[in-house]
Amino acid sequence: MIKWVLGALAVIAAITGIGYLSLDDDQRALVANLPTDSNVLFWSVEQRDAAFRAMDALPVLAETRTIEASDEPYPLPRGLPLQLDYDLDAYFENQRTASLVIVHDGKIVLERYGLGFGQDGKWTSFSVAKSLTSTMVGAALRDGAIESIEDPVSKYIKGLEGSPYEDVSIRQLLTMTSGVRWNEDYTDPNSDVARFNDHKAENGLDATVSYMRTLPREAPAGEKWVYKTGETNLIGVLVSEATGKPLAEYLSEKVWRPFGMAQDATWLLGSTGHEISGCCIQATTRDMARFGLFVLGGGMVGDTRVVPEGWFAAATTKQADIGAPGKGYGYQWWTNDDGSFAAQGIFGQGIFIDPARKLVIASNSNWPTATDREGVGAEREEFYRAVQATIDKRGPPIMTEPTKAAAP
């Protein structure tokens, strides 16, 4: 009980920065709806509204590690406001949007908040974190800590010997084509994605490694794409083992500080101390937009290259067929055949990037369900197209053919 009271006070501070007696009715409602169990997939909408802005302060979740920001934030000046021919009020209501930041040609052209959220608040990314994690593989390649993405992942991670992952390459992990069986059903409490974070690790092994090494193979490596959050968690362990640094520290060192993120972020940790790298970065929406600009610029910080040349050209084009016309999967990025691509997380988190239009759209929401491709998911795609069309009306876009590059 003492832990819960102290944790609730920490959440109050995280949400409001003020004491409970000073909260307005809406803020008190948020605190009252904080969840007391750790399985986000089965929280109510009201619990998610309260928790998504303060996941790193919830006493029912594990500890966090800080991703340190810069003393000199990357500037985000205001540009000519985007005049969308779109019902933005209805969009925010349908999507249950907490934040939307649109950056065109390096300038903010639309910024709006909802659900009582604001510019300085930090929202949980969920699987948007996957794209940040894969970028750290590129950084480790550039640093020489990883020799090649053709290496077997077992070369770097202890405990995978003798498992179906023994001969799976880093590339196959990045593209989720390991051939190892996995259930990502967010509505099934017995699915792998629902159960693996509660797995009790074998002695001396990371919890993710301990769980993933027990899974059976269902197809030869490299032949079948299946979305697997557990494999992104393995990628995080890989980067940490290869570099000898916690993933949050490495992200801060390579991108968050040098590129100029304005606020510290946090990363939730699993039970054995590794970042939950397929999920769970708490950051401002503006800083997620800045990450989009870092990617748009090819992974450069000033004149310094953070990832190998051509990394993002390969990472953000189709490397695996997902069975959807015009779409694919790269290195933990969702790809479109028109050259645009996105990081996406359950309940409506996203970073959409369109290099041809110099466009970044960062947004956070709390959808009624974890995924809904035909409903709010399709509506978000429609919104992206509306933004692209409006950008095109401003003048000739800088059109380029999607780059078909080999992996570095």
Average pLDDT over residues 270-284: 93
Q: What is the pLDDT of residues 22-78, one digit of tens each?
A: 334 555 555 566 666 667 778 899 999 989 998 888 776 668 999 999 999 999 999
pLDDT exceeds 80 at position 400: no
Q: What is the pLDDT of residues 323-363, one digit of tens each?
A: 999 999 999 999 999 999 999 999 999 999 999 999 999 99
Q: 265 is written with which tokens?
A: 């972020």
Strands (E), 6-96: 64-67
Q: What is the CA radius of gyration of the chain?
A: 20
Phi, psi for residue 118 in degrees, rounded to 5: -145, 180
Q: Which DSSP string do the residues of 82-99 spell out, in sequence order?
A: P--SS-HHHHHHHHTEEE
Q: 248 is written with which tokens?
A: 């949050």
Phi-psi region of 312 (alpha: psi -120 to 50; beta: other; left: phi over 0): alpha
Q: Please state at what angle helix 25-32 crosses helix 2-16, rounded to 10 degrees.
A: 140
Candidates 221, 225, 270, 222; CA nearest to 248 is 270
Candidates 176, 130, 107, 139; CA nearest to 319 is 176
Q: What is the pLDDT of residues 152-180, one digit of tens each?
A: 999 999 999 999 999 999 999 999 999 99
Q: Are 291 and 87 in contact (CB under 8 A)?
A: no
Order of strands across the sheet that contains 341-345: 107-113, 97-104, 359-365, 349-354, 341-345, 334-336, 327-329
Q: 89 is written with which tokens?
A: 């009020």
% of the chain at pLDDT higher than 90: 74
Instruction: Determine the Cα–Cα distance for residues 157 and 176; give it in Å rounded to an integer.
Output: 17
Kindly report the pTM of this predicted structure: 0.89
Q: 150 is written with which tokens?
A: 């053709």
